[in-house]
């Protein structure tokens, strides 16, 4: 039975996607893993903000769950914002607008 095409197939299926596949193989993906749906997991781990210090462990747990569920997790980072650090200085003006920037970057 032929499977339904996945959105992530656009990045790796076809003769013209040889370079993308070679980069994925270089990153350690096996042939089986390259056939799985690619699932992005974004995090904002940093050791600067106490509220973010555990986010690498949550991303790892999410990636493990995706893999066990048949997907291929692809993790990446985004900007980290801390309202507590920004409090009582000019940076406080940019805390909420920064959230839109984070969403756009993902």
Q: Walk along the chain (106 residues) and give the pLDDT tens digit of each residue.
A: 677 777 777 778 888 888 888 988 999 999 899 889 999 999 999 999 999 999 999 999 999 999 999 999 999 999 888 888 777 877 777 778 888 888 898 8
Alpha-carbon dihedral sign for residues 37, 42, 45, 50 = negative
* Helix, coil or strand: residue 64: helix
| pTM for the model | 0.78
CB 74 within 8 A of CB 59: no
Instruction: Give the per-residue pLDDT at 76.
Output: 93
φ, ψ of residue 40 in degrees (nearest 5): -80, 135
Whether 20 and 45 map to the same domain: the answer is no
* Listed residue (68, 67, 75, 72) closest to 41, CA to CA: 75
The Cα 82–Cα 46 span in angstroms is 11
Domain ranges, residue 21? 1-35
Whether 43 and 29 map to the same domain: the answer is no
Instruction: Give the per-residue pLDDT at 1.
Output: 63
Whether 46 and 98 map to the same domain: the answer is yes
Whether 31 and 80 map to the same domain: the answer is no
């Amino acid at each position: 039975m032929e499977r339904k095409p996945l959105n992530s197939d656009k990045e790796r299926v076809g003769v013209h996607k040889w370079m993308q596949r070679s980069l994925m193989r270089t990153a350690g993906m096996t042939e089986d893993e390259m056939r799985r749906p690619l699932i992005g997991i974004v995090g904002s781990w940093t050791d600067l903000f106490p509220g973010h210090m555990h986010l690498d462990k949550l991303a790892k747990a999410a990636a493990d769950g995706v893999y066990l569920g048949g997907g291929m997790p692809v993790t990446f980072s985004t900007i980290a914002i801390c309202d507590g650090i920004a409090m009582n200085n000019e940076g406080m003006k940019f805390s909420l607008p920064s959230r839109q920037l984070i969403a756009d970057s993902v």
